[in-house]
Amino acid sequence: MNAQHLSIDELAEAAEGLIDPDRATVAEYHIARCPECQPHSDALRQVTATLRAEPAAPMPETVARRLNEVIAAESARRTNDWKPKPTLGNFGQDLKKPSKSRWALPALAAAALAAVVGFGAYLLSSSAGLNEPPVVAAVNSNDLGSEARTLEQAASGLSPHRFSQAWDCARKVTNGRITGLAASTVDGMSALLVYTKSDGSTLVTVVTGCGAGTPSTGPSAVLPR
């Protein structure tokens, strides 16, 4: 531990209560008397409190699947890397061998914790309005399909911005899987372009009224291939 100041990692661990009691005592003593570390510690504790206060949202299927893949891969890697150490004949054969789960489980728990913390941070940024879709060029409803395709290609693909306010609004009034969102002006009116995929086709739908809490759908068109 730095004699002058605590690192962000150390401050975060202290805020979460993840350090042993002796280190925690030293950390708290330093934080209480350090005008530089104290604000960082307060901010990290506030993040923790905010995350705990947020209602639990269902983990997206893709995130859950990826988490399972990471844990399975880590378990397989550690199993393959394990090799018996050289011994002096049968000396110590009667001694209890350490269980591989003793080190495997903490590693898997750490991987799972990292994924959950990352997902929690994503939810927090979304609820704080930091994950809203980009503003793109104005669109004419008479040529909605081709212009929406051009906008998508110019952006090299659009994100669905899951858990954002726009995503929550769009999913209330559209069907299919949302694959992209963009804020735009359609025929002179502020609107949300909602890209959805269903039956192999991509559809773009104009959604208005999100800001007022009264979303409704407008024109829609199938994007040309």
pLDDT in tens, 188-211: 999 999 999 877 889 999 999 998
Query: Two tokens at 110?
Result: 């750490």
Q: Residue 51: which residues within 8 A CB-CB, separation 6 or more? A: 120, 121, 123, 124
Rounded average pLDDT over 39-67:
67
Tell which wins on pLDDT, 84 or 42: 42
**pLDDT number for residue 12:** 74
Rounded CA Rg of the chain? 26
Query: Considering only 48-57, 121-130, 171-180, which range has the smallest mean pLDDT?
Result: 121-130
Query: Does 147 map to a domain?
Result: yes
Tell which wins on pLDDT, 56 or 40: 40
Rounded average pLDDT over 156-179:
88
pLDDT in tens, 74-130: 666 666 665 555 544 444 455 455 554 444 545 555 555 554 445 454 444 444 455
Rounded distance, CA 124 to CA 119, Å?
Answer: 9
Number of other CB atoms surrounding residue 194 within 10 Å: 30
- Average pLDDT along the chain: 75
Query: Does 199 map to a domain?
Result: yes
Strands 201-208 and 189-198: antiparallel
Query: Does 27 map to a domain?
Result: yes
- Residue 201 pairs in a beta bridge with 198
Query: Two tokens at 82?
Result: 């394990």
> 100, 140 in Cβ contact below 8 A?
no
Give me the domain span that covers residue 153. Answer: 141-222
Number of other CB atoms surrounding residue 183 within 10 Å: 15
Q: Over 90: is that where the pLDDT of 49 sits?
A: no
pLDDT in tens, 116-138: 445 454 444 444 455 788 899 99
pLDDT in tens, 207-217: 999 989 899 99
**pLDDT number for residue 47:** 66
What is the tally of structural domains in the chain?
A: 2
Query: Does 215 map to a domain?
Result: yes
Rounded distance, CA 102 to CA 48, Å?
Answer: 29
Query: Does 80 map to a domain?
Result: no
First to last CA, the chain: 58
Q: Residue 178: which residues within 8 A CB-CB, separation 6 or more? A: 160, 162, 167, 170, 171, 194, 195, 196
Provide the residue type at 194 as one letter.
Answer: V
Query: Does 175 map to a domain?
Result: yes
**pLDDT number for residue 148:** 93
Rounded average pLDDT over 171-182:
91
pTM (predicted TM-score): 0.48
**pLDDT number for residue 106:** 52
Band (144; pLDDT cuts 50, 70, 90): very high
Query: Does 35 map to a domain?
Result: yes
> 103, 140 in Cβ contact below 8 A?
no
Query: Does 125 map to a domain?
Result: no
Rounded average pLDDT over 7-12:
76
